[in-house]
Protein backbone atom coordinates (compact mmCIF):
# COMPACT_ATOMS: atom_id res chain seq x y z
CA UNK A 1 0.00 0.00 0.00
CA UNK A 2 1.26 3.44 -0.95
CA UNK A 3 2.44 5.72 1.85
CA UNK A 4 0.60 9.00 2.57
CA UNK A 5 -2.40 8.29 0.31
CA UNK A 6 -4.72 10.65 2.17
CA UNK A 7 -2.04 13.36 2.31
CA UNK A 8 -1.64 13.14 -1.47
CA UNK A 9 -5.38 13.09 -2.10
CA UNK A 10 -5.92 16.18 0.08
CA UNK A 11 -3.01 17.91 -1.63
CA UNK A 12 -4.39 17.28 -5.10
CA UNK A 13 -7.89 18.45 -4.15
CA UNK A 14 -6.70 21.59 -2.38
CA UNK A 15 -4.23 22.48 -5.14
CA UNK A 16 -7.20 22.56 -7.54
CA UNK A 17 -9.04 25.08 -5.35
CA UNK A 18 -6.39 27.50 -4.08
CA UNK A 19 -5.74 30.37 -4.12
CA UNK A 20 -9.12 31.60 -2.87
CA UNK A 21 -9.80 35.17 -1.73
CA UNK A 22 -6.05 35.96 -1.86
CA UNK A 23 -5.31 33.09 0.53
CA UNK A 24 -2.56 30.70 -0.48
CA UNK A 25 -1.81 27.20 0.66
CA UNK A 26 1.56 25.65 1.49
CA UNK A 27 2.02 21.89 1.04
CA UNK A 28 4.56 19.66 2.76
CA UNK A 29 6.23 16.91 0.66
CA UNK A 30 3.69 14.23 1.71
CA UNK A 31 0.94 16.47 0.28
CA UNK A 32 2.81 17.22 -2.93
CA UNK A 33 4.88 20.22 -1.81
CA UNK A 34 8.58 20.80 -2.12
CA UNK A 35 9.51 21.81 1.44
CA UNK A 36 8.67 21.15 5.07
CA UNK A 37 6.29 23.53 6.86
CA UNK A 38 7.98 24.37 10.17
CA UNK A 39 6.27 26.32 12.93
CA UNK A 40 8.32 28.30 15.43
CA UNK A 41 7.65 29.38 18.99
CA UNK A 42 9.24 32.73 18.29
CA UNK A 43 9.47 34.99 15.30
CA UNK A 44 12.91 33.77 14.34
CA UNK A 45 14.09 30.74 12.45
CA UNK A 46 16.26 28.21 14.21
CA UNK A 47 16.32 24.76 15.75
CA UNK A 48 15.99 26.19 19.25
CA UNK A 49 12.62 27.74 18.40
CA UNK A 50 11.32 25.00 16.09
CA UNK A 51 8.16 23.33 17.36
CA UNK A 52 6.83 21.03 14.65
CA UNK A 53 6.22 20.58 10.95
CA UNK A 54 2.61 20.56 9.74
CA UNK A 55 1.10 19.05 6.62
CA UNK A 56 -0.77 22.02 5.15
CA UNK A 57 -0.87 25.70 6.01
CA UNK A 58 -3.15 28.42 4.67
CA UNK A 59 -1.98 32.03 4.84
CA UNK A 60 -3.57 35.34 3.91
CA UNK A 61 -2.10 38.81 4.23
CA UNK A 62 1.15 37.31 5.59
CA UNK A 63 -0.73 35.69 8.50
CA UNK A 64 -1.39 32.03 9.25
CA UNK A 65 -5.12 31.39 9.04
CA UNK A 66 -5.47 27.59 8.94
CA UNK A 67 -3.20 24.72 10.01
CA UNK A 68 -4.08 21.26 8.72
CA UNK A 69 -2.64 18.04 10.07
CA UNK A 70 -3.42 14.67 8.47
CA UNK A 71 -3.02 11.53 10.54
CA UNK A 72 -2.66 8.18 8.77
CA UNK A 73 -0.67 6.41 11.49
CA UNK A 74 -0.30 6.72 15.23
CA UNK A 75 -3.87 7.18 16.37
CA UNK A 76 -3.03 7.55 20.05
CA UNK A 77 -4.35 10.59 21.95
CA UNK A 78 -0.78 11.72 22.68
CA UNK A 79 -0.02 12.05 18.98
CA UNK A 80 -3.36 13.68 18.14
CA UNK A 81 -3.16 16.18 21.02
CA UNK A 82 0.58 16.74 20.64
CA UNK A 83 0.40 18.18 17.14
CA UNK A 84 -2.41 20.52 18.21
CA UNK A 85 -0.50 21.78 21.26
CA UNK A 86 2.80 22.38 19.50
CA UNK A 87 0.95 24.20 16.70
CA UNK A 88 -1.07 26.29 19.17
CA UNK A 89 2.15 27.51 20.79
CA UNK A 90 3.55 28.71 17.46
CA UNK A 91 4.19 32.39 16.78
CA UNK A 92 5.24 32.00 13.14
CA UNK A 93 5.85 29.93 10.04
CA UNK A 94 9.05 30.80 8.20
CA UNK A 95 9.53 29.25 4.78
CA UNK A 96 12.73 28.29 2.97
CA UNK A 97 13.02 31.82 1.49
CA UNK A 98 12.82 33.25 5.04
CA UNK A 99 9.38 34.79 4.42
CA UNK A 100 7.64 35.06 7.79
CA UNK A 101 3.94 34.41 8.33
CA UNK A 102 2.76 35.29 11.84
CA UNK A 103 0.19 33.48 13.92
CA UNK A 104 -1.97 35.94 15.78
CA UNK A 105 -3.32 35.15 19.23
CA UNK A 106 -6.60 33.21 19.05
CA UNK A 107 -7.19 33.57 15.29
CA UNK A 108 -6.12 30.28 13.68
CA UNK A 109 -8.27 27.30 12.70
CA UNK A 110 -6.58 23.95 13.40
CA UNK A 111 -7.98 21.04 11.38
CA UNK A 112 -7.10 17.46 12.28
CA UNK A 113 -7.92 14.94 9.56
CA UNK A 114 -7.97 11.30 10.60
CA UNK A 115 -7.59 8.64 7.91
CA UNK A 116 -10.08 6.09 9.22
CA UNK A 117 -9.49 3.53 6.45
CA UNK A 118 -5.84 3.35 7.48
CA UNK A 119 -6.82 3.28 11.15
CA UNK A 120 -9.18 0.36 10.53
CA UNK A 121 -6.29 -1.64 9.07
CA UNK A 122 -3.84 -0.79 11.86
CA UNK A 123 -5.96 -1.14 14.98
CA UNK A 124 -7.68 -4.22 16.35
CA UNK A 125 -11.43 -4.30 15.80
CA UNK A 126 -12.36 -4.02 19.51
CA UNK A 127 -9.99 -1.11 20.05
CA UNK A 128 -11.08 0.59 16.82
CA UNK A 129 -14.73 0.62 17.92
CA UNK A 130 -13.98 3.19 20.64
CA UNK A 131 -11.60 5.40 18.64
CA UNK A 132 -14.29 7.53 16.99
CA UNK A 133 -15.87 8.30 20.39
CA UNK A 134 -12.43 9.00 21.81
CA UNK A 135 -11.68 11.41 18.96
CA UNK A 136 -14.98 13.26 19.49
CA UNK A 137 -14.14 13.61 23.18
CA UNK A 138 -10.68 14.96 22.31
CA UNK A 139 -12.18 17.51 19.90
CA UNK A 140 -14.73 18.66 22.49
CA UNK A 141 -12.11 18.85 25.25
CA UNK A 142 -9.63 20.83 23.17
CA UNK A 143 -12.32 23.34 22.19
CA UNK A 144 -13.35 23.73 25.85
CA UNK A 145 -9.73 24.33 26.75
CA UNK A 146 -9.39 26.94 23.98
CA UNK A 147 -12.55 28.70 25.14
CA UNK A 148 -11.49 28.71 28.80
CA UNK A 149 -7.84 29.65 28.43
CA UNK A 150 -7.69 31.75 25.24
CA UNK A 151 -3.96 31.05 25.14
CA UNK A 152 -2.16 30.34 21.89
CA UNK A 153 -2.89 31.04 18.28
CA UNK A 154 -5.71 28.52 17.79
CA UNK A 155 -9.27 29.84 17.98
CA UNK A 156 -11.01 26.64 16.91
CA UNK A 157 -10.09 22.96 16.63
CA UNK A 158 -11.99 20.78 14.17
CA UNK A 159 -11.54 17.07 13.62
CA UNK A 160 -12.73 15.24 10.53
CA UNK A 161 -12.67 11.45 10.20
CA UNK A 162 -12.32 10.57 6.52
CA UNK A 163 -12.93 7.33 4.68
CA UNK A 164 -13.05 6.52 0.99
CA UNK A 165 -16.85 6.50 1.26
CA UNK A 166 -17.29 9.86 2.98
CA UNK A 167 -14.32 11.73 1.49
CA UNK A 168 -16.34 14.07 -0.76
CA UNK A 169 -18.92 15.05 1.86
CA UNK A 170 -16.27 15.59 4.56
CA UNK A 171 -14.02 17.47 2.14
CA UNK A 172 -16.91 19.85 1.42
CA UNK A 173 -17.40 20.41 5.18
CA UNK A 174 -13.67 21.11 5.54
CA UNK A 175 -13.80 23.67 2.72
CA UNK A 176 -16.82 25.45 4.25
CA UNK A 177 -14.97 25.69 7.56
CA UNK A 178 -11.77 26.95 5.85
CA UNK A 179 -13.75 29.67 4.08
CA UNK A 180 -14.90 30.94 7.50
CA UNK A 181 -11.26 31.77 8.24
CA UNK A 182 -10.01 33.09 4.90
Q: Residue 73's pLDDT is what? A: 82
The model carries a pTM of: 0.92
Report residue 77's pLDDT band, with 50, 70 and 90 as the boundaries.
Answer: confident
Report pLDDT for 126: 45
Backbone angles phi, psi at 176, to 5 degrees: -60, -40
Would you say residue 44 has pLDDT above 80? no
**Can you list the alpha helix ranges (DSSP code H) found in 108-164?**
116-122, 125-149
Which pLDDT does position 125 carry in this prediction? 54
Ordered DSSP codes for 43-66: SS-STTTEEEE-SEEEEETTEEEE
Amino acid sequence: MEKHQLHKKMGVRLRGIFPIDNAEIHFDPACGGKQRIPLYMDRRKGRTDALCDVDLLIVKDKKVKVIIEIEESGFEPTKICGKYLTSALAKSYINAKNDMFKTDENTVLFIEIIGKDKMDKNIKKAENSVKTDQFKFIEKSINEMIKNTKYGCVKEYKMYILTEDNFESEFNKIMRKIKDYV
